[in-house]
Amino acid sequence: MSTRLADVSAPPRPRAPAEPDFGRARAVAESALGEFLDAQARDPADDCLPPLVDVLREFVRDGTWLRPLCCHCGWLAAGGDPAGGAVARVGAALELFHSFALIHADVLDGSDLHRRLAGRYRGHDAEAAARFAAHAVILLGDLCLVWADELLLTAGLGEDDLRRVAPVLHAMRSEVLAGQYLDLGGEWTEDVLDRSWRALRLTSAGSTVERPLQIGAALAGGGPDLLRWCTAYGRPLGEAFQLRDDLLGVFGDPGTTGESVLDDLRRGKRTVLMALTWRRARPGQRELIRTLHGDPELGEDGAARLREVITETGAEHAVGELIEARAREALAALEAAELPAPARRACAELVRLATRRTP
């Protein structure tokens, strides 16, 4: 029998709290990432890197940190100690990988990150500064990917831990890149709704909820049955999360979300929301979508006209119903599972957290 289960001389573990402490779980993951970035700034490969560490700190500060929380829930589902362990550092590595994906997804959109990096160009040529920023954004994303690996490999995992986690991690990475390719319109199709769903599942739902759950479960020794449960529960929850995010990206309150409600429309983001709108739109409405959706100069008036079309077609309401249906599916999977009490409470709270964000 393993020491982990049988060593009576070991001190008793703290009792799990009555309610999941996501605030603490997030704080521990943030601290792990902060300590890692501190180390990169103290002992850099070159003096050019500490300023990039500062940019990266600012970039990750306002994230949802849902991926470390999902990793924590998977850990609990497999019987991991609620007090934590290496799972916090692994969760921080997942957040850094997410930053890589976000940064590369934003390479062409002239985001605020581009503007901040352009300000670091030492010259007066605006065109050269813009080229510098575009290239620097790519390198910053690459740096996140490299450091995500380093953070994972220095998390104190044993060989067995890494062997269990590696297949899920590799699958997640491939899926994210495939989803981003679909997001670019890299596969021609007449069924834009099908492509939008596939991109959502690959780029967002999987890497946000399903795969982090599986990584946490694998880390705590969870077997194939539990990993399949992570899919049954995590995939619909991840879809609900992204559908809600897409709604907030168009109808949200920037004061609450911290994000512009113009960015997704200016980018012409191929969301399920917009695919449903296109499918339901009349010819005149489709012409308006062709003109305004994806216009980099789109203003408030044009955005209001697009929102009106989305609402008139019933797409906004339909996405709301999809979110509710996916949340019910996740809760049904949770109800049917035999999980430790801390995991059951945490996974129920995760559904609320991921799907009940308000505009």
Residue 7 predicted with pLDDT over 50: no
CATH number at residue 168: 1.10.600.10
Residue that finishes a domain, picked among 116, 138, 156: 156
Report the domain count for the chain: 2
73 in a structural domain: no
For residue 1, name the pLDDT band (cuts at 50, 70, 90).
Answer: very low
Cα dist from 185 to 93, 117, 199, 291, whole Å: 29, 27, 10, 18
Q: Which two tokens stand for residue 228?
A: 């399949």
Residue ranges making up the domain that contains 30: 21-62+87-156
Judge contact between 243 and 326, C-beta under 8 A. yes
* 64 Cβ contact list (under 8 Å, min separation 6): none
| 180 and 233 inside one domain | yes
Residue that finishes a domain, picked among 156, 179, 195: 156
What are the tens digits of pLDDT across the range 139-197? 999 999 999 999 999 998 999 999 999 999 999 999 999 988 888 775 556 678 898 99
| 98 and 152 inside one domain | yes
Q: What is the pLDDT of residue 66?
A: 94
Regarding pTM above 0.85, the answer is yes
| 199 and 103 inside one domain | no
72 in a structural domain: no
For residue 105, name the pLDDT band (cuts at 50, 70, 90).
Answer: confident
Judge contact between 82 and 340, C-beta under 8 A. no
Q: Coil, strand, or helix at residue 97? A: helix
For residue 264, name the pLDDT band (cuts at 50, 70, 90).
Answer: confident
Work out the number of other CB atoms within 10 angstroms of the CB of residue 124: 7
Q: What is the pLDDT of residue 150?
A: 95
Work out the number of other CB atoms within 10 angstroms of the CB of residue 357: 16
Residue 125 predicted with pLDDT over 90: no
Cα dist from 108 to 91, 104, 179, 199, 267, whole Å: 28, 9, 17, 18, 9
| 227 and 285 inside one domain | yes
Q: What is the pLDDT of residue 305?
A: 96
Q: Which two tokens stand for residue 330?
A: 């996740």
Q: What is the pLDDT of residue 170?
A: 95
What crossing angle do the helices spanning 283-292 and 300-312 adopt, rounded to 10°? 150
339 in a structural domain: yes
| 220 and 332 inside one domain | yes
| 167 and 137 inside one domain | no
What are the tens digits of pLDDT across the range 19-38? 668 889 999 999 999 999 99
118 in a structural domain: yes
Q: Which of 266, 258, 249, 236 is nearest to 316 (CA)?
A: 249
| 353 and 234 inside one domain | yes
What are the tens digits of pLDDT across the range 275-328? 999 999 999 999 999 999 999 899 999 999 999 999 999 999 999 999 999 999
Among 108-112, 139-143, 193-197, 340-344, the least confident range = 108-112
Q: What is the pLDDT of residue 252?
A: 86
Residue that finishes a domain, picked among 99, 123, 156: 156
For residue 85, name the pLDDT band (cuts at 50, 70, 90).
Answer: confident
pLDDT above 90: percentage of residues in the chain: 64
Q: What average pLDDT does range 233-262 have in this prediction? A: 87
Averaged pLDDT of the chain: 86
Q: What is the pLDDT of residue 8?
A: 32
Q: What is the pLDDT of residue 12?
A: 40
